[in-house]
């Protein structure tokens, strides 16, 4: 009968225990012993949660990041973090975050670079290579997990990142060809397999998600080289692919000498048959039937319709699993005690997803009758969801149907608008501004907390927030900024703040998902048609504007960013949900305009994050994402100035799409690359105004006047100075005033110098 397994569980703990234990250890408030105890209990819980599976998974636990663990296991640790008399755990934290409790203040090293794990919101530490990188096996951490799991008396399946994906994820610091390292890497994997074999391990899950991306021929060849080399081994390998279709790598995957292959049957459902046909009669096919990337219940009957014939054909050779590791969903729905009961009934978190698999397995083994009741309940939940009147809103459908081509476009071209805006706003050369948020002081957080718990009533809360806004405006006036902001004191989070005021969203209490290290996010859930019952930001903005003769920017989060940072309904295309968000934000934009706000910024911090894994699919995404931005922004009068902000630096490859957004002004992060990324403007003539961030807000360092003058002078080589704005590279909410005031003051001094030189 089909075997059940999992590809990984969240390790942060259902109440974020590991996060708390880590942060306390880093601060020196608890010792390694306490941290290890927390880790052991999370792992034990995960073993307990896996009791119905045929394997216990190990290797999915990590103190920080599984890719960094892999680097340590392979002996690829940057020189700079090694400190002879340190505990191995502290060396590891140095590599992860630049310092460990053993480092006295200020003597850390630079942390490993972090980047997004495929198209998820999880960030891994990028392996570092040079032409001379050597590998050596350090399996102790993994072996210890294996030994702990053995106590449960079950078959154990360790997961390791495959050699080709490991190289693919890393970066050659010296520009050398990292593929050349493969031949030295493979013997270490072979040695690892031997060690695991001695531990009694029969199956190893070897993750090769790079196989769902567009691979150059030499990378495809690397797969053949690697797995042929590793063919002589005692352990069995389950090669796992996930997050997408294999496309032209499918035949390659089927030809590799491994003992089984896992395919993501949510995102690559239509490839399951083709892969099945190509596998040898000796190979296992693992089908990822339950969505590991979203929080909706599986349609169990539909899953059974799909898998029953495959099970008949394959028998023992079929394995079942979630589509990918469950790291990307929250742990357990049972902890959601305050969630709307009706909507809760439509959801499944990691624990529930494993239960779904169990039901499918029983149905395959004993027939659907054996689980008739569960199947009926599941069908009922799905039926409720499909027909629930809270999901569909006719007014939203009507609004979508009546969108016209003209709704996407400004009334006039940029040149004409710019002239009107110049006359209206009367800004100096090099206008100065900020990205929106100002320090979220303990005082502000306390007020928001007290309002939530009812300690402050509405009137008291408004009064406190207005005082914060007034303080923020006064400080900006003293500094001498040209375009002010209200400071975002009322916002806990740039997506949650809007989601909470929109129809179609719910929020969880413990729906945390690891973003990196100890950092977690709690994405809102978009369950239904989105609409805006009433204005969301107008009163705060109007109040701020009433305090100053200078223009105050309205500050909104854009539709694409709200979408990309939420769990999105799966019953309609994402583009359609995004369009609903765009219509809601559009209403807000128009209300701000009616309230006399002359400049409106719509942040699209996460636009780039939504890019599909395959470049061939980028255009389609960019078309609708840019369309949604235009829909929300472009209903305004020519004299209203639209700003947008994006906080990533690599946009060379999507600059054409960004230009199509047609925002009057765009502010971007550039300071960390010393404006290097502006070189894209040599090949591409960006038509509108631009504010390349002049200092890095992620660092507590105060930028010098000279450094800012220098950066702007560099920027002026690429962009005519009449179109340049001066601003930090992102919002200031994570900084404190002692950092912000001198930093902005230097920014304004630098601007003064530049204006004099002009
Ligand atoms: N307006 C937001 C802020 O200043 C933008 C945040 C972001 O880009 N991530 O905080
Ligand atoms: Zn930003």
pLDDT value, residue 105: 61
pLDDT value, residue 264: 98
Which three-class secondary structure state does DSSP give residue 144? helix
For residue 555 and ligand 1, the question of a CB distance below 6 A is answered with: yes
pLDDT tens digits, one per residue of 274-313: 999 999 999 999 999 999 999 999 999 999 999 999 999 9
Distance (angstroms) between ligand 2 centre and the Cα of 700 equals 16
CA-nearest residue, atom 10 of ligand 1: 731
CA-nearest residue, atom 9 of ligand 1: 605
118: left (phi over 0), alpha (psi -120 to 50) or beta: left
For residue 507, what are the CA distances in angstroms to 310, 344, 483, 561?
Answer: 38, 11, 34, 17
pLDDT value, residue 152: 87
Nearest to 10, CA basis, from 522, 612, 606: 522
For residue 76, what are the CA distances in angstroms to 73, 116, 180, 223?
Answer: 8, 20, 15, 21
Query: Which residues share a beta bridge with 3?
Result: 319
Measured distance CA(53)–CA(320) in Å, rounded? 10
pLDDT value, residue 92: 95
Residue 607 has pLDDT above 80, yes or no: yes
CA-nearest residue, atom 4 of ligand 1: 731
CA-nearest residue, atom 6 of ligand 1: 731
Residue 250 has pLDDT above 70, yes or no: yes
Poorest-confidence range of 5-14, 485-494, 675-684?
675-684
The predicted model gives 16-36 an average pLDDT of 96
pTM: 0.95
pLDDT value, residue 670: 79
Which three-class secondary structure state does DSSP give residue 109? coil
Please report how the helices 394-401 and 574-594 are oriented relative to each other, as an axis angle in degrees rounded to 10.
80
pLDDT tens digits, one per residue of 340-389: 999 999 999 999 999 999 999 999 999 999 999 999 999 999 999 999 99
Atom of ligand 1 nearest to the CA of 557: 1
Class of residue 465 by CB neighbours under 10 A (exposed 0-12, middle 13-18, buried 19+): buried
Active site residue 698: yes
Measured distance CA(593)–CA(589) in Å, rounded? 6
pLDDT value, residue 84: 79
Structural tokens at position 671: 């300071």
pLDDT tens digits, one per residue of 127-178: 999 999 999 999 999 999 999 999 888 999 999 999 999 999 999 999 999 9
Distance (angstroms) between ligand 2 centre and the Cα of 728 equals 9
Structural tokens at position 755: 């204006």
Distance (angstroms) between ligand 2 centre and the Cα of 443 equals 23
pLDDT value, residue 225: 98
pLDDT value, residue 112: 86
For the sheet with 567-568, list strands across it: 503-506, 525-531, 567-568
Residues 6+ apart with CB under 8 A from 595: 538, 541, 542, 545
Atom of ligand 1 nearest to the CA of 733: 10
Mean of the per-residue pLDDT values of the chain: 96
Q: How far apart are the first and last CA of the chain?
A: 78
Pair 665, 642: CB distance under 8 Å: yes
Residue 593 has pLDDT above 90, yes or no: yes
Measured distance CA(360)–CA(352) in Å, rounded? 13
For residue 643 and ligand 1, the question of a CB distance below 6 A is answered with: no
Structural tokens at position 191: 């040695």
- Which ligand is nearest to the Cα of residue 601, counting in written order? 1
How many other CB atoms are found less than 10 A from the CB of residue 272? 19
For residue 210, what are the CA distances in angstroms to 131, 157, 215, 493, 502?
Answer: 22, 21, 8, 32, 37
- DSSP structure class, residue 200: T
Residue 679 has pLDDT above 90, yes or no: no
- DSSP structure class, residue 653: G
Measured distance CA(430)–CA(436) in Å, rounded? 18
For residue 297 and ligand 1, the question of a CB distance below 6 A is answered with: no
CA-nearest residue, atom 1 of ligand 1: 436
For residue 605 and ligand 1, the question of a CB distance below 6 A is answered with: yes
Q: List strand residue ranges (DSSP E) for 32-74, in order.
A: 56-58
Pair 317, 285: CB distance under 8 Å: yes
pLDDT value, residue 671: 72
Local confidence band at 653 (pLDDT 50, 70, 90 cut-offs): confident
Distance (angstroms) between ligand 2 centre and the Cα of 27 equals 27
For residue 669 and ligand 1, the question of a CB distance below 6 A is answered with: no
Measured distance CA(553)–CA(331) in Å, rounded? 39
Measured distance CA(313)–CA(457) in Å, rounded? 64
pLDDT value, residue 106: 60
The number of C-alpha atoms within 13 Å of 398 and in the hemisphere containing its C-beta is 3
The H or E element containing residue 372 is helix 372-387
Distance (angstroms) between ligand 2 centre and the Cα of 17 equals 29
pLDDT tens digits, one per residue of 439-464: 999 999 999 999 999 999 999 999 99
Nearest to 151, CA basis, from 277, 47, 3: 47
Measured distance CA(514)–CA(672) in Å, rounded? 25
Measured distance CA(728)–CA(72) in Å, rounded? 37
Measured distance CA(624)–CA(511) in Å, rounded? 28
- DSSP structure class, residue 704: P
- Which ligand is nearest to the Cα of residue 697, counting in written order? 2
pLDDT value, residue 649: 64
Of residues 670 and 743, more confidence is placed in: 743
Local confidence band at 436 (pLDDT 50, 70, 90 cut-offs): very high
pLDDT value, residue 107: 66
Mutate to test the pocket of ligand 1, among 493, 731, 744 (most ligand atoms within 8 A of CB): 731
Query: Which residues share a beta bridge with 602?
Result: 556, 644
Query: Which residues share a beta bridge with 600?
Result: 554, 642
Pair 385, 346: CB distance under 8 Å: yes
pLDDT value, residue 528: 98
Query: Which residues share a beta bridge with 552?
Result: 484
Distance (angstroms) between ligand 1 centre and the Cα of 553 equals 13
The H or E element containing residue 61 is none
The number of C-alpha atoms within 13 Å of 282 and in the hemisphere containing its C-beta is 7
Atom of ligand 1 nearest to the CA of 731: 4
For residue 577, what are the CA distances in angstroms to 203, 315, 400, 557, 609?
Answer: 42, 40, 10, 15, 17
pLDDT value, residue 652: 82
pLDDT value, residue 104: 67
Pair 555, 485: CB distance under 8 Å: yes
pLDDT value, residue 100: 86
How remote is the C-alpha of 400 from its chain's centroid?
A: 28
């Amino acid at each position: 009968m089909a075997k059940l397994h999992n590809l990984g569980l969240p390790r942060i703990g259902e109440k974020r225990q590991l996060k708390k234990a880590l942060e306390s250890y880093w601060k020196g408030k608890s010792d390694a012993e306490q941290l290890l105890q927390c880790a052991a209990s999370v792992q034990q819980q995960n073993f307990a949660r896996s009791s119905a599976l045929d394997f216990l998974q190990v290797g999915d636990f990590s103190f920080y990041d599984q890719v960094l663990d892999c680097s340590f296991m392979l002996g690829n640790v940057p020189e700079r973090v090694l400190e002879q008399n340190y505990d191995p755990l502290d060396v590891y934290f140095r590599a992860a975050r630049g310092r460990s409790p053993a480092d006295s203040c200020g003597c850390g090293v630079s942390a490993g670079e972090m980047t997004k794990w495929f198209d998820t919101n999880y960030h891994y530490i990028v392996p570092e290579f040079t032409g001379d990188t050597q590998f050596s096996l350090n399996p102790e951490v993994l072996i210890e997990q294996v030994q702990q799991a053995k106590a449960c008396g079950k078959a154990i399946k360790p997961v390791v990142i495959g050699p080709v994906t490991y190289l693919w994820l890393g970066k050659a610091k010296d520009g050398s060809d990292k593929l050349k390292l493969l031949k030295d890497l493979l013997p270490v994997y072979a040695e690892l397999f031997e060690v695991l074999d001695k531990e009694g391990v029969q199956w190893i899950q070897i993750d090769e998600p790079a196989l769902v991306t567009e691979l150059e021929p030499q990378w495809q060849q690397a797969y053949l080289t690697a797995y042929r080399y590793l063919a002589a081994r005692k352990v069995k390998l389950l090669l796992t692919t996930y997050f997408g279709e294999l496309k032209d790598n499918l035949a390659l995957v089927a030809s590799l000498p491994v003992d089984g292959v896992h395919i993501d049957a949510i995102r690559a459902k239509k490839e399951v048959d083709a892969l099945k046909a190509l596998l040898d009669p000796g190979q296992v096919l693992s089908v990822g039937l339950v969505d590991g990337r979203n929080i909706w219940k599986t349609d169990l009957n539909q899953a059974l319709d799909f898998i029953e014939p495959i099970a008949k054909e394959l028998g023992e050779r079929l394995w079942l699993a979630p589509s990918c590791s469950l790291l990307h969903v929250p742990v357990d729905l049972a902890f959601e005690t305050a969630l709307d009961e009706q909507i809760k009934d439509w959801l499944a978190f990691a624990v529930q997803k494993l239960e779904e698999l169990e039901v499918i397995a029983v149905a395959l083994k004993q027939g659907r009758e054996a689980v008739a009741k569960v199947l009926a309940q599941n069908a009922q939940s799905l039926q409720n969801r499909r027909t629930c009147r809270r999901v569909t809103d006719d007014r939203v459908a009507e609004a979508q149907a009546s969108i016209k081509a003209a709704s996407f476009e400004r009334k006039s071209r940029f040149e004409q608008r710019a002239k009107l805006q110049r006359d209206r706003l009367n800004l100096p050369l090099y206008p100065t501004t900020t990205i929106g948020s100002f320090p979220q002081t303990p005082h502000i957080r306390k007020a928001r907390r007290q309002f939530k718990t009812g300690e402050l009533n509405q009137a008291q809360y408004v009064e406190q927030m207005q005082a914060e806004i007034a303080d923020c405006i006064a400080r900006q006036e003293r500094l001498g900024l040209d375009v002010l902001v209200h400071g975002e004191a009322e916002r806990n989070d740039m997506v949650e703040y809007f989601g909470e005021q929109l129809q179609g969203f719910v929020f969880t209490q413990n729906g945390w998902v690891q973003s990196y290290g100890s950092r977690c996010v709690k994405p809102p859930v978009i369950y239904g048609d989105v609409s805006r019952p009433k204005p969301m930001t107008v009163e705060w903005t109007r109040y701020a504007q009433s305090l100053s003769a200078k223009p105050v920017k309205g500050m909104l989060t854009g539709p694409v960013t709200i979408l990309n940072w939420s769990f999105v309904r799966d019953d309609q295309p994402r583009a359609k949900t995004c369009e609903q968000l765009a219509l809601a934000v559009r209403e807000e934009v128009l209300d701000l305009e009616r309230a006399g706000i002359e400049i409106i910024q719509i942040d699209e911090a996460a636009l780039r994050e939504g890019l599909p894994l395959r470049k061939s699919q980028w255009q389609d995404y960019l078309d609708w994402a840019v369309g949604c931005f235009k829909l929300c922004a472009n209903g305004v009068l020519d004299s209203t100035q639209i700003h947008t902000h994006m906080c990533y630096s690599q946009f060379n490859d999507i600059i054409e799409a960004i230009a199509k957004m047609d925002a009057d002004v765009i502010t971007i992060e550039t300071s960390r690359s010393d404006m290097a990324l502006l070189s894209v403007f040599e090949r591409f003539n960006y038509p509108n105004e631009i504010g390349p961030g002049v200092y890095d807000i992620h660092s507590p360092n105060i930028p010098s006047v000279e450094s800012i003058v220098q950066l702007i002078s560099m920027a002026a080589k690429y962009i005519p100075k009449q179109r340049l704005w001066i601003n930090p590279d992102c919002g200031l909410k994570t900084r404190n005033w002692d950092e912000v005031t001198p930093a902005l003051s230097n920014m304004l001094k630098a601007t003064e110098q530049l204006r004099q030189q002009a």
